[in-house]
A and B are shown apart, each in its own frame.
Chain A
Amino acid sequence: MIDRDIRERLAGLGVPVLLPEQQRQPLEWQEEAPDGELVDGGRTGLTVYLEQAAPDGYVQIEQPLPIGSDGLTGTFWAAVACIAPTPERAQELALDVRRLLCGWNYAPGPYRETTPGQPVYDPGGFWLCRATYEAKTLDGQSV
């Protein structure tokens, strides 16, 4: 599956890499005390998650969208969002993701960037850098 394949390739990043079905986890994060216990009446939400579980940011893989098929190869576009407390860190994470998925011009990986991303500020108090990558399947199997 494409989202699992992307997660496997990004495993070495050293930050949490979340699958599409885990999208709500940061939003539902509850503040934890240093010993790991939940704080009664503590803060919740993404900024607390960033503070406590992902100080270096995290990567959210979005559900790959089917774009088309010619009968043999299927084309999917998978967006990967890098969320971090600063724009520099969001961009740095996004460049690392790009390198791991797409490789280099002269040594390419299986993915190809289709929509580039730049860090964008979200009023929730964090920076988001979201790029879209093209994934192909051959005869119904992920390549």
Chain B
Amino acid sequence: MSDFPIIDQLNLLNGDSQYSKDNFKRIGNSVIVSPVEAVGDLIPANALVGLGFFEPDAQMAPTTDVQRNPILVQNPMGGPPVTLLEDASDVSIVYENVEPVTADKYIDALHLGGSPTAVAGVGGGTVTINPFEPGASILARLFVLRLLEGAGAEKRFELLVHLRAAIQADGFGEYEGRTTRNFRIPVQAYGGTLTSAALKAYAPQMSSYGAIFKGTVADLPALWENLKTEGVASAVAPEETP
């Protein structure tokens, strides 16, 4: 109940909850990628690779760039034309600055654009070689798991699922004096739909760019079991034409 009476008199749908301190919560991010094709010998196709720790205030939210064109019509009252509506003409979604601070050999392989090849016959055999390809892009599934502050049965998650995205190396960064690997991950349109038994009824709820699942963490393992196999390469087989 708001002590200031005017807010109650407005009869808002969410008159109390709009101010609730229970909604002032911290969020943690985990980014999981799953290359659609094998990355050399190191990462098999459809294996799930986590990207580790991010800087404390890193926001794993995509930069959505939407080009809008206003459609103007004549103003019935006279005067300059008025905007009837805005038409979105171009949408791009990119996760900029995905910067794992503790990159292991798997994350490093994704950054290099491929698995290292061991160089035999040079010294003790620890040397590897990778081509220097700054434009390399690895097609993968992208899952961004956001865990909201909370304890026990009510702890909530948000899971952004993008069934096609491109993992692109974006140079190196710095965090606390240590080198980090920087990734830029644009989301791509996916031509398939949800195919697992539990989720295929909800295929219309997923757009070409993906879907957002929310729930309590108790239900996350069951959801993950279904999502692990969504959008894997074998699921998008070309249709046979007679």
Contacts and interface: CB of A to CB of B under 8 A. Distances in A.
Contacts of A139: 19, 21
A105 B28 contact: yes
Contacts of A112: 26, 56
Interface in A91-143: 103-110, 112, 136, 138-139, 141-143
A104 B28 contact: yes
B166 to A, nearest CB: 23
A63 to B, nearest CB: 22
Contact of A106 (B21, B24, B25, B53): B53
Contact of A103 (B29, B53, B54, B149): B149
Dominant SS at the A interface?
A: strand
Contacts of B26: 108-110, 112
B19 A105 contact: no
Interface string B177-198: 0000000000000000000000
Interface in B150-195: none
B30 interface: yes
A138 B54 contact: no
Interface residues on A, range: 10 to 19
A35 to B, nearest CB: 40
B109 interface: no
Contacts, number: 39
Nearest to B22: A143
A109 to B, nearest CB: 6
Interface in B7-56: 19, 21, 24-30, 53-54, 56
B136 interface: no
Given A139-B21, A141-B21, A108 B149 contact: yes
Interface string B123-140: 000000000000000000
B28 A106 contact: yes
A105 B21 contact: no
B227 interface: no
Contacts of A142: 21
A105 B56 contact: yes
A143 B26 CA distance: 10
B94 interface: no
Contact of B21 (A103, A108, A143): A143
Interface centre among B25, B30, B149 (most CB of A within 10 A): B149
6 contacts: A103-B149, A106-B53, A108-B149, A112-B56, A138-B21, A139-B21
Interface of B: 19, 21, 24-30, 53-54, 56, 145, 147, 149
The 5 closest A-B pairs by CB, nearest first: A107-B147, A106-B28, A138-B21, A108-B26, A106-B30
